[in-house]
Structure 1
Amino acid sequence: MNAALIRETATWAFWRLTMAAITLVALASIASAQYCTPDQCDGCDLNNCQLSCCHELPELWLVNTRCAPKCNNLDAGFERISVKRWDPTCRRFVKESWDSLVAQEASMPTLVFAHGNTLQHDGAMKQCWEVYQKMRCCPGKKRLVFWSWPAQIDHLRPLLRPRQLILSNLRTKFVYAEYQGYYMAKLVQRMSMTQRVTVGGHSYGGIIGAVAAHFIGGGELRGLTLAGAEAKERPNFRVALVSAAFDNDALDVGGRYGQAFVAAEKIYVTRNATDSTLRRWPKISYRCKKAIGVTGVNANCLGENAHKLCQQTLTSDVGSSHYIEPHLGSRRFMNALCCVAFPACADCVKAEQAKAKPATDPKPAAAASNVQLKPAA
């Protein structure tokens, strides 16, 4: 009797454990499925690798905010920001003003791109030239406004343990990046949007682009709002986030940067579940959230703005790397970035596709069908 009871108890326990395991797997799959939406991008073919990288170089502008206030007096500090234009004839940067930068905005589409964390100005300029050269892949006239911001290591106190020092620097730079978004928003607010304007960046630079769009959409952050901003879509305004280092729900409706999807007509996001740097983001996040550059955006949390999401998985292109160089080396990435930021790209791709299609003319075929073969003599 005891043996039968033991067998029955064991069977019941096994059944309960099995059902518990199935429930946990189901819950885990539901939790992860919200970020497992397929790559999508209305109007762009994310897998097209046909772009030729032999087009003209962009017009290059440099915005350097390293001598401007980092966290306060931003409106006054905006006028202290350095603005320069690259003169390819003299091969040097020429000092310009906000007015001159904005004045040429209506003549060609513009990409405002911010670099990531830890870079001093020299390192930022190295990345600037890499992005500049790679933009040969984008057809048509275009303009690159590269954003150099105070991302260099801020805390060097030896009393902090190494992990504490790294965490302190990361969180301090996170604050700086959000305030940089206000500066970028003030620039974009002056633009007419006659031509397409795309803001964004890599890693922490993605924070700057997302925050700029949030302010333009009438959002509030750190006690700041952008004068004249409205909660409405701005035609020709887009955002490009490359391996962005911030919480993966920040762009959701009501999220920290939730007004970004309201303001933009399209937001391009790259994701990579094997990113060796961003996989540690939950230890940096104040809310223990995963990074948007790892999971991407949950389209189900965007409400009526879900159709604006343009999402691309780059794991097979860049592996576990977080750095910008492997991204720039990916033809799929460059194709998507060009297509999102510059309208001429779509026209170029259509032309190439038309050339690739075999010519079909029904008339010769019809004429051939009317030819009657004579019997051999």
Structure 2
Amino acid sequence: MNAGLMREVASWAFWRMAAAAALVAITAAAASAQYCTPDQCDECDLCNARLSCCHEPPELWLVNTRCLPRCSNLDQAFERISIKRWDPSCRRFVNETVDSLIAQEANMPTLFFAHGNTLKHKGAMKQCWKLYNKMRCCPGKKRLVFWSWPAQIAFKRPLLRPRKLIMKNLRIKFVYSEYQGYYMAKILERMSFTQRVTAGGHSYGAIIGASAAHYLGGGSLRGLTLAGGMPVQRNFRVMNISGAFDNDAMDPGKRYGQSFVAAEKVLNTRNKNDSTLDNWPKVSLRGRRAIGVTGINANNLGEYSSKLCQITMSRDVGKSHYIDEHLASRRLVNLMCCIAFPECAACAMAQQQGDAPPAVVEPIDEPVPAMPASFSAGHNSGREQSIDEAYAGDDDGPVLRLLRGGR
């Protein structure tokens, strides 16, 4: 009797193990179906979650293009671009010029970072301070140039077709973003790249960084070609955080194809669970999925495949598209530091080789420094809003119910 019971128990255990193995295989197959290539980065550790966030803050500069033309006369308007530098001793921004921004280039590596869609300037500045604070996790001298661009809602008060209005707003912001890339490229083209320069952004801001790299690499876009843009590699990198554009746009020969020519490394995050970018095929004029969902297919990069640094953020941020959740990821902050600032990469390599003590784990969610009221506030949370949230203001109250019905 006991022998029969033992056989039943053994049989049950066997089938449970077989079912578990099948589940693992199915999960792995599903994951491989979502992504064409695995995560990769030959320079930085994608699993490093140890941070010491007590380093000196970056030197902060602010570029504001909200009052410049958005789609025409860009070369003439560039001379009126607003540039300011944060003076920590006086706790205020002081006026600067493109020339003074360039003059400081040789002293430290620089990260240009553009915010995402729907943010007004006050909300963008709140995001700026959060990023500024996170850059304390990166050792050594460094400079953050935050890019504030006209991302606020362009078309309002729909009467009959709110979904059509939403699409109109999303697509016009895509156009604005590519022209913003030209403004950014005009600054980049004047730099000597004696120190590392990185251009990037979050969501629609990633379009600005990628298109700027494309212009810098000699590419043309929307009838514009950058004077001084050449198909040569520079001491320059690209950083896409939850990029809101087609997943093949950076492939050689495609829309931003010259970006991999100009850059020595391209950092791209991806998340198959991103609930905001899941709707991107409806926005894309080609029905493509977003680069922030599937990532970049390294198989399509040819000789440039080794330039790609790609990380999957699903377990770090869940379904979120927002920048706050991404900046809360120790893995991603480490990777951003490693990509943008050479001293961080050197520290990581020394730790791996045992030549330096491991970094002390410190909390990275330090409060944003208290700043003057004119710079510290944002719209509500200061994060990029989903498009239905952006239309949920007092003036557009009846629209929210229509939007939540599906889009």
TM-score (normalised: structure 1): 0.85
Matched residues in 2 for 1:50 and 1:160: separation?
A: 52
Pairing of 1:91-106 with structure 2 (within 5 A):
91-106=91-106
> Equivalent residue for 1:169?
169
Q: CA deviation at 1:166?
A: 1.1
| CA distance 1:179–1:328, shift in 2 (3 Å) | same
Is 2:224 the partner of 1:213?
no
Matched residues in 1 for 2:281 and 2:114: separation?
A: 23
Matched residues in 1 for 2:40 and 2:300: separation?
A: 16
Is 2:280 the partner of 1:311?
no
Per-residue deviation, residues 8-50 of structure 1 (Å, max 9, x unmatched): xxxxxxxxxxxxxxxxxxxxx89x7593311111110011112
**Which AA in structure 2 matches 1:344?**
E
> Aligned to 1:287, what secondary structure does the other structure show?
coil
Matched residues in 1 for 2:251 and 2:34: separation?
A: 12
> Aligned to 2:309, what secondary structure does the other structure show?
strand
> Equivalent residue for 1:73?
73
Q: CA deviation at 1:175?
A: 0.3
Q: CA deviation at 1:211?
A: 0.1
Which structure 1 segments of 5+ residues have no match? 1-28, 358-377
> Equivalent residue for 1:248?
247
Q: CA deviation at 1:341?
A: 0.3
Is 2:262 the partner of 1:300?
no
For these two proteins, the number of residue pairs brought into alignment is 328
Which structure has more RCO (C-alpha within 8 Å, separation ≥ 6)? 2
Matched residues in 2 for 1:335 and 1:141: separation?
A: 16
Which structure 2 segments of 5+ residues have no match? 1-28, 359-407
Matched residues in 1 for 2:160 and 2:129: separation?
A: 35
Per-residue deviation, residues 132-184 of structure 1 (Å, max 9, x unmatched): 00101111000000000000000014235221111110001000000000000
Is 2:365 the partner of 1:327?
no
Matched residues in 2 for 1:114 and 1:323: separation?
A: 14
> Equivalent residue for 2:152?
152
> Aligned to 1:268, what secondary structure does the other structure show?
strand
Taking every aligned residue pair, what percent have the same amino acid on both sides?
71
Contact 1:40 1:311 in 2 (8 A): yes
> Aligned to 1:100, what secondary structure does the other structure show?
helix
> Aligned to 1:84, what secondary structure does the other structure show?
strand
Contact 1:181 1:212 in 2 (8 A): yes
Matched residues in 2 for 1:155 and 1:105: separation?
A: 38
Contact 1:68 1:80 in 2 (8 A): yes
Q: CA deviation at 1:232?
A: 1.5
TM-score (normalised: structure 2): 0.79
> Aligned to 1:267, what secondary structure does the other structure show?
strand
Contact 2:44 2:348 in 1 (8 A): no
Pairing of 1:1-377 with structure 2 (within 5 A):
33=33, 35-234=35-234, 236-353=235-352, 354=354, 355=356
Q: CA deviation at 1:229?
A: 1.1
Q: CA deviation at 1:254?
A: 0.9
> Equivalent residue for 1:15?
none
Matched residues in 1 for 2:202 and 2:164: separation?
A: 24
Contact 2:217 2:259 in 1 (8 A): yes
> Aligned to 1:281, what secondary structure does the other structure show?
helix
Question: Considering only CA atoms, is the larger Rg found in Structure 1 or Structure 2?
Answer: 1
